[in-house]
Chain A
Amino acid sequence: MSGDLFGLIPWTIESPFSSSYVVSPSGDVEIIVWICIAIAVYSAFRVIVEPDVMRKLPFLNVFSFSISGIIALLIPQPLGIIAAVAYFVGSTFESNAIASTWAGGVED
């Protein structure tokens, strides 16, 4: 598969990710995918840098918001909604479990 590096330099890459099922986002959607990727990288960096354990969890939440958005943007078909919601609910459930286990569990 060949592509141009932002239209300036001709650059040819053969890769296994060129599939006939998934088309690459084009035009405006690609800029929005890059915005979400930038926010994901920034929030992953903030998770690593933050010293307190419980304060890492809101940054992890921002990360999972952006990954859910990326999943939904890559697949503009109905099954994309299910994949995005499944990832988001799973990530939220996991954060909830981490926070409540750290706090000592549900006191009955």
Chain B
Amino acid sequence: MIGESATRSGPFAHTANTVQRTMFMVLLALTPATLFNLYLFGWPAILLFAVTVGACVVAEAACLVLAGKPVSATLSDGSAILTGWLLAMTLPPWAPWWIGVLGAMFAMPLAKHAFGGLGQNLFNPAMVARVALLVSFPVVMTAWVAPHPLFTTGSPTLNEAMTITFAGETPDGVTAATALGYVKTELSRGVPVSESLQVYGRSSVLTYAPDLMDLATGFKPGSLGETSAGLILLGGIFLLWRRVITWHIPVMMIGTLFVMGTLFNAFDPTRFAPGFFHILSGSAILGAFFIATDYVTSPVTHKGQLVFGFGVGLLTWVIRTFAGYPEGMAFAVLLMNSLTPIIDQYTRPRMFGRTRKGDPLPVEGQQ
């Protein structure tokens, strides 16, 4: 069995990059959108965010202690913070505290440490948590509110926020449907998509698509991660620029979602929402740049990443369009996570000097 030894092989030069630095970059990329959305949804959102991230870190620490692994060294890699952060961004901002804590319980011990900790989990921990919560508490998990920016009339004070988050008392008359949810409900009542889109646009605080400015600013009901496509996209571009992620998964996922939406919308606009609506609503952008690109649970080859991105995009569209849930990104990611090992196996690069099958290349000019 191999061991570390004094006669260690080279190289005697290494990149400055570390896992910690990578996680830090992702957190940095998430910061603008997060800050803006915390502002947008006020104190209850801030409290829930803090509770969720805190619970994930505590849960990870507990798991490390139980597993007898180094606690502070592992915690400092920042992966628990990132999981909590991403989970918080997919929750209804005014959800009660126990949603965050329970989510952390699903994410850390169940989805991550039961598999062996960092790098070993098959499924994206944040998405496991979100889906488990959504399936277990469908009412709480779909109680969206309209934006109540901090320091504006109607925005809860810190004291009021305490009641909302910790006593679970949401004031009457603040709930609102997300764009995806509204369109889905209306369609089930027989209202054509094309019509409900227009009604939704007028009734919400501001219009939604296709006015890109409004989506970027994000004055619409939804989770922290879906109300500001513009800032999320900015974070995603930052990650591409810093080469933390490659374009393969996000472009494929968004592209597939857009193409499916556009094609079917052209075919029947009363039943199918347009492509722009699909990519700018829900957590499509967050999912494409921050969730589907999770290293651990996505394929390692670029070709595999293209397949993976395509699958996530397609399944998101299918679930949004035909299934019972208005948003399908989390389900789509988990389904594709389960395919990652097999995608990896079938998308290995061709070895130098060998055919795709692995046989040596024929020598030119020889029989």
A and B pair up: no
